Chain A
Amino acid sequence: MNLYGISGEIFLAISGMIALLISVFSSKDSSLKITTRFCNLSLLISLILIVLSHQNSGYLFNEMYVYDGLSLYSKTLILLGTILTLLIGSKPQKIDGFNQPEYPVLILFSVLGMVLMSSSKNLISLYMALELQSLPLYVIAAINRDNLKSSEAGLKYFILGALSSGLLLFGMSLVYGAVGDTSFSLISEVSSQNMSSILLVGLVFILSGLAFKISLVPFHMWTPDVYEGAPTPVTAFFAIVPKIAAITILVRVTFSAFDNAITSWQQIIIFLSLLSMILGSFAAIMQNNLKRLMAYSSIAHMGYALVGVASGLLEGVSGVLIYMAIYIIMNVGAFIIILSMRRDNQIVEEIYDLKGISKTHPFLAFSFVTILFSMAGIPPLAGFFGKWLVFYSAVNANLIFLAIIGVLTSVVGAFYYLRIIKIMYFDENDVNLDVVENKSSMAILGLMLFLTLSFGIFLNWFVETTMGIVSLI
């Protein structure tokens, strides 16, 4: 069997094990640093391997594993997102005495699960990849063992995550019962001929399980607590990377396994998307903690992204994929700022701590303002183009009410983003905020700022690439 198509994942698995050894056998002081560097390097190499090996598309292991444009796109985003979050989190970690070398290793394994997940075309491989992705995440959420909030977050995440896995598995078993097979292609065949009620119930459970992972309302309860409780570098990772994998697999399940049963899942997706947009926007208004606010903001963003899936059109999926790229850009930028906030060497994460930052750290403030306006979806910034693509596909699919509610909630969303801008720029500062000076983070922030400002220029490249990808799903 030719394993070239999966070489990136194999490399990642082996280097994960090596990283484990490195973390154990290196000296305690430098262990985290060395392991992080090693993990970054192996992520980069496996990214290169994946890009090389995914030039052609094909199947492996009886169609359990597929390598195609969609998996290449999402794996690229996942790996880039991970590398970026590891880079921006490394310096603050050291300062906060958060020193477990397992952290990058666990992330590596979780990422392995994610890349496998975006390639799975079978319920079994999907479930295995999903669990490989989730288990390290539960541990990472609680990695700050001495912190009560972090442990609580880990436990909460684990229990709810296990519940969602249970739902998923139950749904899968129902689908297997109805179809007699677990491969997406056969599910697609059967669902096109006879969408039996067992299959439908199975689909609902599978979608609920996935909605947990993407943190869509009403399966979002864990998100704010886990985001708040976990150490900030971990939150940054949670906010950015797992969503890409989960959205990808959602797209695969809806457009590849149940592609002929659009009417069955479209309502569910519309419902999830509507609730997420509304709750994400309104609940964030009351938040003063930046990490909780980012949690609700990510719920709302996932709601917007899902509008593209709800449209049931290929251009909607292309919009979702572009939305995810934009989402990474904005969130990496935002988390760089959250990660660098300090007062008297203590981590601070209240939005009022940002008071007057425009005078003391003009570049940081300017970048954050740009990113926040972009999150609010104001043109000509990146966030607007994401909303444009998904809402346009909704209008095209005659889901005008969904688009209207979407834009109305984005106005509500604008309010809480503006609130942060107000605190940074309009309020006079009394106590200065310290900022961790970190050159590599600032360089990444500059890059993200540039991408946010000039995304319109690259839009055409993204549209053409993703349209090419989705036409082959």
Chain B
Amino acid sequence: MLSSIPILSSITFLPLFGALIILLTCSDDEQGGKNSKFVALWTSLITFILSLFVLFNFDNDLNNFQFIEKASWIPLSNVSYHMGVDGISLPFVILSTFLIPVCIFASFQSIKKQVPLFMSLFLILEVLMVGTFCAMDILVFYIFFEAVLIPMFLIIGIWGGVRRVYSAFKFFLYTLLGSVLMLIAIFYIFSKTGTTEINEIVKFSFPYEVQILLFIAFFASFSVKLPMWPVHTWLPDAHVEAPTAGSVILAGVLLKMGGYGFLRFSIPMFPDASILFAPFVFVLSVIAIIYTSLVALVQNDMKKMIAYSSVAHMGFVTIGAFSFTNEGMAGSVYQMVSHGLISGALFLCVGIVYDRLHTREINAYGGVTDVMPNFAVFFMFMMLASVGLPGTSGFVGELLVLVGIWKAYPIVAIFCATGLILGAIYMLWLYRRVMFGKAIKEEIVSLEKLSKREIIIFVPITALILIFGIYATPLLDITQLSINNILNITEFHQNKNKVSQIAALKDLGVI
């Protein structure tokens, strides 16, 4: 039964039907808005339930892609529509299908204009995100990966804040510029290997010089998407101007496409180049962690601060991935999943106070704890999770990355740990300024408490952060075998390099 139903395609394209229904039937008025919210929420919930089915039927002990679907697309060029999940992609599929209903539910009140369009764009976004993570053909991957720009551009541009146009353009052009270079690299790989199957390309070993160029092309795309310092500047702008749900999905899933790309493409396909560039990646990541943490310290805008903290957290992801240790890579995936939940939740928190007070200035707040006690609890929990308090998922991810990098490059670990301290400083300071103190300002005193809808949004995220923080084994089990595969490749090449270095030294007569 399992093999007969194309379950991954169903998950991927079900939201598309929801979007079509909304676009074709819902008019742009109050009733149409209500209907579209209803359709969007239910479609995304059904998609989520279907994706849980994949999660529960996923075999952790099977060292291969699962739920494979393959249909010939262009037989002449050997390109096919090929879908499947392994331990690295599955967590992101679930993360996407989980966050989309949350986002849709969270925008029930805050989105006032063109509601049907907003809802359908979110569903289309879900199609593209799930497709990106499920694609096993590199061209199909690229199509989903880049198509994400369209709905996101419109979401930022139509429902964003004051400088939305600037941010939308910056977001679009930055990421497009990064990814077109990857497209050329994909074409090159295609023309050399004659295949676009990810599984087949991994087996192909490119000459060293070619690997370096290809790595740079892929790096251009993924480092912008992730984003890494110094190409991160689109992120704060996009985050600040995007509507709450847009920020959540941007931080929650879209950034992870970069990290996923490193683990799925860059490292296994160009192992020698990855080993060569690892120190460079570490330097950029360490700068990202420390510099953006310092920048986050001086922000007056809550969203901007969380955006910069995202850049810092993504620094851990790249360090973990390029440490080429089991713990580091597992930690990298873990950190991405946990950051997806935590930063998403933090943006929701900001969205909740923003909906009430219509400002994100930290100075405009103070003493919110007295007025909104429930909110204070949730916000504090998310803030501590972001800092990496033990017992939350943030701790597990950061610890694993630190352990991994300590094994490989202890110096980098020291800088990372410094970043952790800075992270604690700015997050705690943010919380103090926004939440504590006496509520003297009139607007603050008259703030509404959390509605039931808002509490419903927070409960599942909080639960997941706690579960992943206390009991890490299930997620680690899922990713283990896939990470081992990547490690086998990199270790093989590291040893090969060592052998050839020793041989070179012998030739020179040093040894």
Contact = CB atoms under 8 A, between A and B. Distances in A.
Interface of A: 358-359, 362, 366, 369, 373, 378-380, 384, 388, 391-392, 395-396, 400, 403-404, 407-408, 410-411, 414-415, 418, 421-422, 425-426, 456, 459-460, 463-464, 467
B146 A379 contact: yes
A418 B157 CA distance: 11
A378 B191 contact: no
Nearest to B176: A411
A418 B172 contact: yes
Contacts of B191: 392, 395-396
Interface residues of B, number: 37
Contacts of A464: 76
Contacts of A400: 184, 188
Nearest to B182: A407
B74 interface: yes
18 contacts: A359-B28, A366-B23, A378-B147, A380-B144, A388-B139, A391-B184, A391-B187, A395-B191, A400-B184, A411-B180, A414-B176, A415-B169, A415-B173, A418-B153, A418-B169, A426-B165, A456-B73, A459-B74
Contact of B168 (A388, A395, A404, A426): A426
B157 A407 contact: no
Given A400-B184, A422-B169, A425-B158, A373 B176 contact: no
A408 B180 contact: yes
A467 B77 CA distance: 11
A19 B75 CA distance: 46
Closest A-B pairs by Cβ, 10 of them: A407-B180, A379-B143, A395-B187, A396-B191, A426-B157, A392-B187, A460-B74, A379-B147, A411-B177, A380-B143
Given A362-B28, A460-B75, A463-B74, A407 B173 contact: no
A395 B184 contact: yes
A173 to B, nearest CB: 41
Contacts of A421: 153-154, 157
Q: Do most interface residues of chain A lie in helix, strand or loop, or is the interface mixed?
A: helix
Given A373-B150, A400-B188, A414 B172 contact: yes
B181 interface: yes
A407 B181 CA distance: 7
A395 B76 CA distance: 17
B149 A404 contact: no
B146 A378 contact: yes
A59 B357 CA distance: 78
Given A395-B191, A407-B184, A425 B157 contact: yes
Contacts of A425: 154, 157-158
A378 to B, nearest CB: 6
B142 interface: yes
Contacts of B142: 379
B183 A391 contact: yes
Residue with the highest number of chain A CB atoms closer than 10 Å, among B75, B144, B154: B154
A282 to B, nearest CB: 14
Contacts of A396: 187, 191
B378 interface: no
A414 B184 contact: no
Contacts of A366: 23
Given A411-B180, A426-B157, A392 B190 contact: yes
B82 interface: no
Contacts of B181: 404, 407
B313 interface: no
Given A359-B28, A384-B143, A411-B180, A378 B73 contact: no
Nearest to B189: A395
Nearest to B116: A362
A300 to B, nearest CB: 15
A463 B76 contact: yes
